[in-house]
């Protein structure tokens, strides 16, 4: 039977696939390469979710098994129009 995966709060992270994890205003963003972990349904979270705080999520989970950071982007300026 086919399954549908909804990635609310996550990005697709198939093996070798490039993605972007966006930081909030003033925070760094990351270009990442997926590792294709089947236990995460080939996904990588880009936030902590709502059941626990970001601090608690960072202590409990690691993104090391899900993606490889290829490049770090730092915001230089924010222009509002």
Confidence of residue 2 (pLDDT cuts 50, 70, 90): confident
pTM value surpassing 0.95: no
> Are 68 and 37 within 8 A, CB to CB?
no
| pLDDT: which is higher, 42 or 62 | 42
Q: Which of 34, 40, 43, 46 is catalytic?
A: 46
Known catalytic membership, residue 71: no
| Predicted pLDDT of residue 14 | 94
Tell me the average pLDDT across 41-51: 70
CA distance 55 to 79: 30
Domain edges within the chain? 10-73
CA distance 26 to 5: 31
């Amino acid at each position: 039977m086919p399954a549908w995966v909804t990635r609310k709060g996550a990005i697709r992270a198939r093996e070798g696939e490039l993605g972007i994890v966006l930081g909030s205003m003033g925070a760094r963003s990351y270009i990442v390469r997926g590792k294709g972990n089947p236990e995460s349904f080939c996904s990588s979270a880009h936030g902590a979710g709502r059941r626990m705080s970001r601090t608690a999520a960072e202590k409990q989970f690691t993104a090391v098994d899900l993606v490889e950071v290829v490049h770090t982007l730092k915001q230089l300026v924010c222009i509002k129009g």
